[in-house]
Amino acid sequence: MNEHEKLNYVEFPCNDLAATKSFFQDAFGWSFVDYGPAYSAFTGEGLDGGFFQSDQAALTSNGSALLVFYSQKLEATQAKVESAGGTIIKPIFSFPGGRRFQFTEPSGNEFAVWSDQ
């Protein structure tokens, strides 16, 4: 449901659309709808969005916002991320309220996964 003046959609740059789609399918079970050869969308993953062809990447070191997944089993999620081709850039660490790790997917976009467990 679209809600007035609420976050609704997010778009990420992507230099290898096929590899990025494969990563998210393998690591998180996402499915995609392609809109031409340079754009692919996902829905039902907490926030709908898409990936567009670009030579850029969304990295916090470049000032990008960090999108964070939640996991009830942080180590198991990290193993899935690594198995699917993600690169761990900050191994699991504790912070007030939980633990998390940060990773990049094959196109270089940075994400994090946190758990209160």
Can you identify the CATH homologous superfamily of domain 9-115?
Answer: 2,3-Dihydroxybiphenyl 1,2-Dioxygenase, domain 1 (3.10.180.10)
- The domain locations on the chain are 9-115
Report the distance separating Cα 70 and Cα 52, nearest Å: 24
How far is it, in rounded angstroms, from Cα 52 to Cα 109? 12
pLDDT along the chain (117 residues), means of 10: 92 97 98 97 96 97 97 98 98 97 98 96
Tracing tokens 């912070």 back to the chain, one arrives at 95
Question: Which pLDDT does position 26 carry in this prediction?
Answer: 98
Pairwise CA distance, residues 19 & 50, whole Å: 14
Looking at residue 2, its pLDDT comes to 86
